[in-house]
Chain A
């Protein structure tokens, strides 16, 4: 059984607290995660946004210590008080089965097609907590109802339901262990916009009902801004900007955030060419000095290539952190007007 967390602790401590996480992979010149700081409080939704290779998925997987072979992690990850990087295998199993749960992008890749949905949902309870099958099935039925599916689905096979329904099944599975923290890695990317809206509505609903903290990993800035309390933007293994969703969208301070917003095809923008970001993100085989975005940045000066910018609060807004030597340059920009 997982160690009970006292309600007093829940109020004060965040459900997820990552401090100075640095992750090195074999045969790379620089850490793939380089000093990531991130917190998620109970009932809070934090979006982690970035492009391929930015380290957003590795960050969320690190929370469950699902690290690639040969990876060396430094720093501290604490989930509901447990220090993830130092847990014993048994404690780690408890963490993954209960305290923290992950929803992946492709539900069909994460479920055994030969077993009934009921077997899949009850498996972790039956194996990890020795819950009797009947009780586990009752809970699985209740969880299916919580995500808006009929309990009769327990008898069905994954191939008999649609992708949107199966993603709901995955969410129900994640809820089986009453997690304090839910990690969603591109959980709606494979779905069309309408199903995506349904899943997001469901996650928002569950968060208010169960007080679960949610870390939502996505490449979609619009989605991040729409569903989260706070957005963290990652680039080359670092969080370059973090702010309340509204502020980040309306007044981005990091040139990368602003460039990402400008490159996104939008419904309310005029037709025509997009402001593409030229160049490529830095390769893992090259070492980085200074700001990782400097080579692609229009505002870069000499200092950007020499010194790594620290995360500083925007004057007058302590919740808005930006790692840029020229974070004040975009002041007064309205982001996407």
Chain B
């Protein structure tokens, strides 16, 4: 069995009296895709931010490819090595790119930092091709691109580093349905080609079903249920998972029953 891409053990984080993340443990296999779902305030984004290193944990550890992620990387080499462990794609493609840097320059800069000896022109063309962007997009500034194209750029930039784990925090939530489908298909193709692992943070259970193998359901900082995605979504064991599933709008849906169910703990 290959080494897991990511092992999270006993992760906790409090803000004042609120336990945002409370003893969270999960494993992301190499080449796997794990979804974290939950309502607002369930701690899913905080968990993702701790994995990336944007937030500190009060307790617990994050291990990527067998290496413990420390609190602080010392020195340039350690910082770069750390960046190659985990990369992140954010929700809003309009906020995550520097408006003054062209797509081409953005990818070249990333490559220059991480792989100074690689042929940058060739690799840039490869990356653009991998995310389905033409050479015309290469010279473009972010404002000249659509939301879907920008998200492709953000994915290309993350892939340029060749990370072990790609954290996608609601990365398709802001996109239109037709564009969202294109990006989800793209992500599936990239995983099949490169063997990268995904940690997929989302509130959309349809998306989870589409792109993840395993899923953990979080509520008020704790994991209430975890398992294979199909198994959890088809036969949920925890009442909260059932509530989440029932909340997804569909014909013949009863929002009143959900409102009542939420108030009964």
Interfacial residues, chain A to chain B (CB-CB below 8 A)? 51-52, 162-164, 191-198, 200-202, 204-205, 219-223, 225-227, 245-246, 249-250, 259-260, 263-267, 269, 271-278, 280
Q: Give the most central of A194, A219, A222, A275: most B CB within 10 Å.
A: A194
User: How far apart sit A204 and B255, CA to CA, in the bound complex (Å)?
Assistant: 9
Q: Tell me whether A197 and B185 are in contact (CB under 8 A).
A: no
Query: B31 to chain A: which residues have CB within 8 Å?
Result: none
Query: B244 to chain A: which residues have CB within 8 Å?
Result: 193-194
User: How far apart sit A51 and B205, CA to CA, in the bound complex (Å)?
Assistant: 20
Is B73's CB within 8 Å of the partner chain A? no
Query: B130 to chain A: which residues have CB within 8 Å?
Result: none
B62 to nearest A CB, angstroms?
25
Query: A193 to chain B: which residues have CB within 8 Å?
Result: 39, 203, 205, 244, 247-248
Instruction: Say whether, besides A193-B39, A198-B258, A263-B180, A273 and B249 are in contact (CB < 8 Å).
Output: no
Question: Secondary structure at chain A's binding surface: helix, strand, loop or mixed?
Answer: helix
Question: Secondary structure at chain B's binding surface: helix, strand, loop or mixed?
Answer: helix
User: How far apart sit A272 and B212, CA to CA, in the bound complex (Å)?
Assistant: 10
Interfacial residues, chain B to chain A (CB-CB below 8 A)? 39-41, 146-147, 176-182, 184-185, 188, 203-207, 209-210, 229-230, 233, 243-253, 255-256, 258-259, 262
Q: Tell me whether B40 and A163 are in contact (CB under 8 A).
A: yes
B80 to nearest A CB, angstroms?
35
A-B contacts, 20 listed (Cβ < 8 Å): A51-B176, A51-B179, A192-B203, A194-B258, A196-B247, A201-B256, A201-B258, A222-B248, A222-B249, A226-B255, A249-B251, A263-B177, A265-B209, A266-B206, A267-B209, A267-B233, A276-B181, A276-B185, A277-B178, A280-B146
- Contact among B40, B206, B233, B246 for A192, CB-based, below 8 A: B40
Q: Tell me whether B182 and A276 are in contact (CB under 8 A).
A: yes
Query: A266 to chain B: which residues have CB within 8 Å?
Result: 206, 209
Q: Tell me whether B249 and A265 are in contact (CB under 8 A).
A: no
Query: A276 to chain B: which residues have CB within 8 Å?
Result: 178, 181-182, 184-185
B201 to nearest A CB, angstroms?
12
Query: B249 to chain A: which residues have CB within 8 Å?
Result: 196-197, 200, 220, 222-223, 225-227
Closest partner residue, chain B, to A202 (CB atom): B259
Query: A198 to chain B: which residues have CB within 8 Å?
Result: 255, 258-259, 262
Instruction: Say whether, besides A51-B178, A263-B177, A274-B184, A197 and B40 are in contact (CB < 8 Å).
Output: no
Q: Which 7 A-B pairs have the closest CB atoms?
A: A265-B206, A276-B181, A226-B249, A201-B255, A263-B181, A277-B178, A51-B176
